[in-house]
């Protein structure tokens, strides 16, 4: 099939979904507009939300900034702790033997499950959310860095050793570079997980942020604002992972996993 034809079908597909959405809402009024607003109403709500703070106490922009701040804070904390810990676990056998059982014990608890404990410990402020995001970001970072280092080709290490590399050089010049693609895919998984944990944490206890915005609008029955919030969460999530993809292209040379 030709690429242009495929594009055409895709465009028609999206257009017909929008048209169908418009037809069942504003066109035929099958659903009440407060439950299922039309695309036009959602667009109006979007424009409106850029300046108006009712009913959730903030414009779209303030919510977005609040969410981004917490998410990135928790995420970077997760990277800064998770990646070195994963590398350490894979490189030093004793650390592996001791830390891994404890890590495996805690790992199956989904990050969302930590929310109540974190709120009880540090309150409903930004730091509780940052901690929850940290928990969700740190796991994939550890797992992927660990696996990445463990998968270092033994032959490469032998070669380095033969040429007289110290153990430190073997780690920084052989093992880490060859683990980078794996580490980066961990960073990507982490990013998705943090963004999701953020939404959950904000829905449960918060006073601003995109998750708070959609939750508040549910309470007042404004589906148009909920959909604006959801689309915003989706778009920002996609943009963040695209940025990470660009960083990866810059730093990771050679093979991709």
Q: Restricting to residues 59-78, which ones interact with another protein according to CB under 8 A?
A: none
> Min. distance of Cβ 254 from another protein in angstroms?
20
Cα torsion angle, 24, 28, 32, 38, sign: positive
Which residue, 77 or 179, has its beta carbon nearer to another protein?
179
Q: Does position 125 bind another protein by CB under 8 A?
A: no
Q: Does position 233 bind another protein by CB under 8 A?
A: yes
Show Cβ contacts of residue 191 under 8 Å, excluding neighbours closer than 6 positions: 75, 137, 237, 240, 241, 244
Residue 123, Ramachandran bin (φ over 0: left; ψ between -120 and 50: alpha; else beta): left
Which residue, 51 or 154, has its beta carbon nearer to another protein?
154
Show Cβ contacts of residue 209 under 8 Å, excluding neighbours closer than 6 positions: 63, 66, 67, 70, 129, 198, 202
> Min. distance of Cβ 236 from another protein in angstroms?
8
Which residue, 54 or 107, has its beta carbon nearer to another protein?
107
> Looking only at residues 36 through 55 of this chain, which bind another protein when binding is defined by CB under 8 A?
36
Per CB under 8 A, the list member of 62, 152, 188, 252 interacting with another protein is: 152
Q: Does position 157 bind another protein by CB under 8 A?
A: yes
Which residue, 80 or 257, has its beta carbon nearer to another protein?
257
> Looking only at residues 164 through 193 of this chain, which bind another protein when binding is defined by CB under 8 A?
167, 170, 175, 192
Q: Does position 100 bind another protein by CB under 8 A?
A: yes
Q: Does position 87 bind another protein by CB under 8 A?
A: no
Q: Does position 250 bind another protein by CB under 8 A?
A: no
Q: Does position 138 bind another protein by CB under 8 A?
A: no
Which residue, 11 or 80, has its beta carbon nearer to another protein?
11
Which residue, 18 or 80, has its beta carbon nearer to another protein?
18
Q: Does position 1 bind another protein by CB under 8 A?
A: yes
Task: Kindly state the tokens that stand for 140.
Answer: 């994939």
| Largest pairwise CA distance in the chain | 77
């Amino acid at each position: 099939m030709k690429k242009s034809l495929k594009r055409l079908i895709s465009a028609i597909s999206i257009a017909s979904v929008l048209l169908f959405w418009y037809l069942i809402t504003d066109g035929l009024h099958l659903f009440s507009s407060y439950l299922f607003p039309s695309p036009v109403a959602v667009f109006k709500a979007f424009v409106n939300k850029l300046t108006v703070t009712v009913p959730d106490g903030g414009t779209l922009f303030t919510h977005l900034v609040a969410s981004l701040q917490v998410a990135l804070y928790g995420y970077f904390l997760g990277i800064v702790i998770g990646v070195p810990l994963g590398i350490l676990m894979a490189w030093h056998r004793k650390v592996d033997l001791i830390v891994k059982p404890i890590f495996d014990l805690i790992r199956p608890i989904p990050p969302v499950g930590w929310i109540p404990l974190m709120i009880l410990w540090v309150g409903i402020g930004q730091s509780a959310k940052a901690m929850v995001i940290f928990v969700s970001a740190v796991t994939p970072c550890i797992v992927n860095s660990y696996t990445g280092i463990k998968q270092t080709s033994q032959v490469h290490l032998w070669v380095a050793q033969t040429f007289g590399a110290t153990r430190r050089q073997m780690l920084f010049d052989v093992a880490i570079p060859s683990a980078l693609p794996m580490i980066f895919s961990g960073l990507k998984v982490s990013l998705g997980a943090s963004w999701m944990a953020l939404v959950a944490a904000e829905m449960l206890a918060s006073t601003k942020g995109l998750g708070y915005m959609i939750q508040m609008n549910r309470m007042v029955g404004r589906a148009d604002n909920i959909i604006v919030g959801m689309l915003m969460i989706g778009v920002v999530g996609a943009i963040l992972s695209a940025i990470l993809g660009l960083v990866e292209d810059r730093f990771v040379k050679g093979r991709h996993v």
